[in-house]
Structure 1
């Protein structure tokens, strides 16, 4: 048995060394590629401005580079234009002043990430572990090239670009998730929910909790046309809500939907229950179709207290409750939360404009969710 344990320990250590080496290799390759692309972009940008060549020169450069390096796929006209845009967007990419201003901004958040199999998370963590290299200090060096092209295409503000670079590095977003977050304007929504966290949580925990909440939440149920079936809607809605909560990043783990609680002889069912490993607490999400009503805060407070009494461990922090509803009136919400000792937050949700015409009405959604609840309770 001792020999077996020793072998398992050795194997674990070897796997860790291999993964760390793979991270360093991936980081090195990405870094060198970004440096090369930035340098090419700077050279092209300067020559076009100084020599008055005109942007058409990029077509000729692309042709000549591809003839010289036929196995390289990075020298298309489109990619060379991205390189120029990249250099113009981050002119101080290799300079010390940029490094000092932006270094380690994402380190506190990324350092809190739980170990996962997600390669994007590993990449971000590996990048931050190498901050002694001057090129690794800027935020710009922490994400892959393809993500940069998406940000360059869709974001014009320098501050907003750095926001999405930071969030990508923190949360390991794929290209599709990054695109969705940009198109749903996460930079305008994050941290905007109405809460009582300042009065119910310690400052550090309150700040982290507020940054994890968006207002509004955007439900992007793709592929749902006019011929959508009721059962398809039910499944898609629950799946989408769960996916969006997990995409908040920063340590959310899914516990269950229609989570059963029994208080004395009465049964209750929470819409969604998560655990957050950074805040070390359970998080209850309740979805209400329609505008906010004061009684919703009381019901959510009840659920939070029940979780605290029945499930929360001694090492856990107080449970947080989040209510998603349509167009909450800020004053009504503040009055409703005042005096409640449990940490609660209220946020809006919406569907993208392009989907609204194909989606069922609010009343139809409410009916579908009620049937989902009743069906699962009966099962």
Structure 2
């Protein structure tokens, strides 16, 4: 019986070189994919905005007509393509076209080979053409859609143009752009006597500014555009606690009707995520639950208050009571459950919910027990892995 020869191990230096080359290739490919998706998405949204504006201009009583048009488009497009085409989103696309009109886009493309054909198409009679080469139009939008959304919040046209130019020149990420706008960089540099130094310092990125290809592709805008399922980089502990909490509340009785988890909402150009959303049949109100893997802070209460205001305006149906907020905190040193009462205008309901909802102490104990069980499983899995090596 012949012995099997042991495969030769690759040369360490040679393997490191080929491994490094492959990693660099994949990272470059993902960055290119993220840029391509963003450019196509942005050009599509600009074209949608253009068609909305041109359609409005052909109608009468533009203000009322425009609102009706956006509402109907939002309903029909969401039914056909999924989320991402709310009235607010369509209004944003309309504003995007108005801030970057056809003349400006044609000027941007004037130095590119695609300019003549695109310019001729965009200059055609409104609504005559049914298709356009989005890949060529995308050349006019080198920044990601998230950056243009942030720029739309800058009302001063000169400031907006300045931030757009500097974002392109310095290669700012969306986070860098957001930081510079929030710090009023345009206004500060206008008053500065040493503008060159300020511009040079603005080129430097800070830790946390860089966005990985994975983060770029998981941007909520991209997920909506591609109609992909939401993906969040949640920790295993938080995910398990949320799932267990949903099961725990449903086991308490049939008063809790589960409506969803990781429910997303957008305010201006910021995204938020509600961990759990229930409807309580006896109380006849929504129950908004937010889980914090850490200690309770005043910021948590302020954020919940914002959630309740949003839920009351957008999710509450006629005949229902105002929503209730429940903040659950789970950490090594602090386990507490806190009901947020700011949204409760009905005093009778305030008294009723104390008996209808689970006891705060019981919820805190359940969270603590679940957290300890999960950590014990994790430690056990780690021991099994070491033993199998």
Same fold (TM over 0.5): no
> Into which bin does the TM-score normalised by the smaller protein fall?
0.3 to 0.5
- Structure possessing the higher relative contact order (Cα contacts under 8 Å, 6 or more residues apart): 1
> TM-score, normalising length from structure 2?
0.39
Larger Rg: 2
